A and B are shown apart, each in its own frame.
Chain A
Amino acid sequence: MRNYILIVIGICLSLLMILFSANIFESIFYDREFSNEMYNLGLYFEIALLDVITAWLGAFIFYYLINSVRFSRWFHWLLTMLITALFSVATCYYHSENVFISDAMDFSRQLFIFSFINAIVECVLFIVASFSMRSWSSNCRYTPIPE
């Protein structure tokens, strides 16, 4: 029962992230011109969606596709989280930059700072996904922290 509650909470938090992505990102980092363009072009929504999908996919790979005793310690989980974050940040950065370039805008510096914020958000999402779905994993259900 507890495990099902955890996964429902995780899904709800992820949906909230997608629905209120602009508010959440702008509360952490706000540059008037950059943030306006991000909002107008719908990039907040796209980035949030990508973050959520990547976080849950990364967690799923760790807990169910790899699911190995040899790769089940906290530092293995940390490595997976960092790889997931790197992948998500890189994808979001290049996608956003392409959009700005196609509209003849240059927000390189702001985008760079935003990417750090996005990395932290991605890590948080990965933690949420991990604790939501780990209970059913046979070898990693106590990673990174036992209950």
Chain B
Amino acid sequence: MRLFLFLVGGTGVRVMRPLIMQLASGILPLDVSGNSIPLELVPIIVDPHRANEDLKRTENLLRWYCQIRKSIYKEQDNVRRGFFAAKISTLKDLVPNGNSLSDTFIYNIGSVESKKFHELISFNTLDTANQALCSMMFSKYQLDTKMDIGFVGSPNIGSVAMNKIKDSEEFKQFSNVFQKNDRVFIVSSIFGGTGAAGYPIIVNNIRNAANNILVNNKGDLANACIGALTVLPYFNIQQDEKSPISRADFISKTKSALFYYHDNLTGLKNTGEDISQSKINVCYYIGDEVPSTPYFNDPGDNGQRNDAHVVEFVGALSILDFLQIPDDLLVTYNGKAINPIFKEYGLANDKKSLSLKDFGMSTRIYINHRMIMFHLAYMYLTNHFNEDIGHGYTLDKPSLNRGFLSTSFYTTLTSNFYVAYIQWLRELKTNQRSFVPFNLNTSMLRDCITDIQTKTGFLKFPIDYKDVMSVMNKCSQKASKINKFSADDLPKKLFELMYDSFDKLVGEKYNSVI
């Protein structure tokens, strides 16, 4: 299955980060029988604020993920099991040669980024009446805003600027490669500027594809299955009188946007009455009433780097949930979703500090096992793998020797991806409400999972690195008998052995992880 994932604004970019971690853990959407569905994800970041630190972090993570996955699985598409199983592609990867797209995840809204808003609308060329109208709708600050830092919490300027999307090369190529069975998902916040503006514009451009002469594939696009995550206010910012962004405005902006969405997106009207039709097939809403640790009030000039929050983590799960909804429940006719679905999320335990045990049962069943496996693999590679080289499974052909530690794959994994992973976990821990799935202050496997104990009993010892090696030895022995791995499959060998081993160990050594 292929998903085009539009990440609009800062919140869109921040939700991508936990999604990358979930996909790295091997979490995939499941069909009705519970079997994994191979996934190809095409993230499209829509944010003119190129210098946004959160954007840069997410873009780096995406690149590293792709490099790691390519090393493990080469160009294989239909991977149903394993860490980094889901494939992540840029739009350029899908488009035949000879196009002018750059090999990046970022949507090029070049003409928007480089201008001030008044230049974009050619304010100086307007007649007096229109200039007066504009002055009523947009403040002087907004007219003078250079949009290379986004739309500074102002969806009114965003909604004008983002209309350029439909004329872009990216949208044209997206329409070219989009197929009937592909899906679209849009992540945005409702209380900011870029996300609140971009979300309805992207939806309308897709649903109104029939009217766009640049677009091929009009029928498939107009009736595409579209899901959307709307993130309600969930974080706090420091009060700054000089900044155009204020938390006090979040609620009022949210209300305005929700009314607009209701009338134009999710609850359409027919001669003044609501009809059960929507342009969106599935709408997800998430927010939190617990005020976060106040972020630095940065409209964008200083890079806008905000700590990870559990709302983003749960928001990422909505994307996977959307992919699991069967096709027959996502029927679209003439650009309108038949029987649209609306979802919210509730925790099982309303605590200030959450662990993996505090989510709902279905979430725990879906993610806990894989997230724990991934963290144990991280612990093993970080704390013990070095010692095991030259022993046991590392000697089975193809052998893992010290030279493997200096390969670009291993360096990207340990010096880049894992460093970002731990940083993400630390931010989740220190934020409010905090999310602490793992104990970051230990190097012992038996203590590393919050609220989940290892099994103990007569002759039952807590898990340690020797147990890991023992299971990996057994798995490797079986693989060697059938010559499963070739000489250039070293990353695949390591990751497949770790996946199989930790899958077994989590079940054997821990009391119920669900």
Contacts and interface: CB of A to CB of B under 8 A. Distances in A.
Given A138-B470, A139-B470, A72 B391 contact: yes
A70 B468 CA distance: 11
Interface in B75-114: none
Nearest to A142: B395
B385 to A, nearest CB: 14
A146 B395 contact: yes
B469 A138 contact: no
A-side interface mostly: loop
A131 to B, nearest CB: 15
B380 to A, nearest CB: 13
Nearest to A71: B466
Interface string B384-402: 0000001110010000000
A63 to B, nearest CB: 12
Choose among B466, B467, B474 the residue with the greatest number of A CB atoms under 10 Å from its CB: B466
A73 B387 CA distance: 13
B297 interface: no
A58 B466 CA distance: 23
A69 B466 contact: yes
A68 interface: yes
B188 interface: no
A142 B392 contact: yes
Interface residues of A, number: 11
Interface string A9-47: 000000000000000000000000000000000000000
B497 to A, nearest CB: 13
A69 B477 CA distance: 14
Nearest to B465: A69
B-side interface mostly: helix
B207 to A, nearest CB: 58
B266 interface: no
B395 A70 contact: no
B473 interface: yes
A138 B466 contact: no
Contact of B473 (A73, A139, A146): A139
Contacts of A139: 392, 469-470, 473
Interface in B366-395: 390-392, 395
A68 B477 CA distance: 15
Contact of B477 (A72, A141, A146, A147): A141
A138 B124 CA distance: 79
Contacts of A73: 391
A145 to B, nearest CB: 11
A19 B201 CA distance: 91
Contacts of A72: 391-392
17 contacts: A68-B466, A68-B470, A69-B392, A69-B469, A69-B473, A70-B466, A72-B391, A72-B392, A73-B391, A138-B473, A138-B477, A139-B473, A141-B477, A142-B391, A142-B392, A142-B395, A146-B395
Given A69-B473, A139-B470, 11 more contacts: A68-B466, A69-B466, A69-B470, A72-B391, A72-B392, A138-B473, A138-B474, A139-B473, A141-B477, A142-B391, A142-B395
